[in-house]
Amino acid sequence: MNKKIIFIIAGVLLFAIIVVVIFKKGSSSVQIKNGKVTSVPGLLSQAKESEAKEDPAGARLSYQALVSEFPNSSEVMNWQKKIDDLNIRILFSPAITPKSVLYEIKSGDTLAKIAKQFNTTVELIKKSNNLKQDIIIPGKKVKVWTAPFTILVDKSQNILILKSDEDIFKTYIVSTGANNSTPVGTFKIVNKLTNPTWFKAGAVVPSGSSDNVLGTRWMGFNLAGYGIHGTTEPQNLGKQVTQGCVRMANQEVEELYAIVPVGTEVAVVD
């Protein structure tokens, strides 16, 4: 037999043996794609290497591959949390992405004017460009996010999902209404307040009070009395305990508040 053919056959057999051995050691941590063997340790190594190099986009790709190729792993929720955190890190950085532009500031521009033009928020522009104040200089360039955000609240799981162009951007644990009282439907955020005062029956509770259940932020729906807000009871997140609103941890509602503008669509489902 031709020696070349013998070497080819031997190589194929050796590859097959290696694959069998690997799969015997742990088939859940190995996949073959386009003729290449990929593994959980290999992809984790790539992710950590990218993070060490301050390359969050590269790290996100590795974690997305882990979630996609090993969806049954017991670690999939941790990997998804990594993706969520990296999404926010990239959003709040000057890194330009396919969903953002580098905008050159013109004479007469203000942050509020730019935010309105691109349907984003002043807070997000400032965070994305490490701006400490509202003063901007014509001729300078700033990163501006251009893809619309939407929100989905799933009452059955007590989660709030932030989406960008229908892609899941980040998932938050929330509290919803006791006795299923959070209304179902599609709403819009019509007002936003920092450190809101709570006007409850027979009393006015100022911001900062331990009795003010609204926490540090309020985003009201176009349905009077309902909205998304912070909480003074973080221990109850993940439960149906509110009077109908959606509660979030203060740190997380502050993050969401900076991202979504007035007019953002909020869908609430059972």
- Give catalytic residue positions: 229, 245
| CA–CA gap between residue 242 and residue 208 (Å, rounded) | 19
Q: How far is CA 249 from the centre of its chain?
A: 15
Question: Taking a C-beta distance cutoff of 8 angstroms, is the pair 165, 148 a contact?
Answer: yes
Best CA proximity match to 237, nearest among 228, 204, 212, 36:
228
| CA–CA gap between residue 198 and residue 80 (Å, rounded) | 35
- Tokens linked to 266: 């909020």
Beta bridge partners of 143: 102
Inter-helix orientation angle 40-52/56-69, to 10°:
170
Instruction: Provide the residue type at 104 as one letter.
Output: E
- Tokens linked to 166: 């229908």
Question: Taking a C-beta distance cutoff of 8 angstroms, is the pair 171, 80 a contact?
Answer: yes
Beta bridge partners of 31: 38
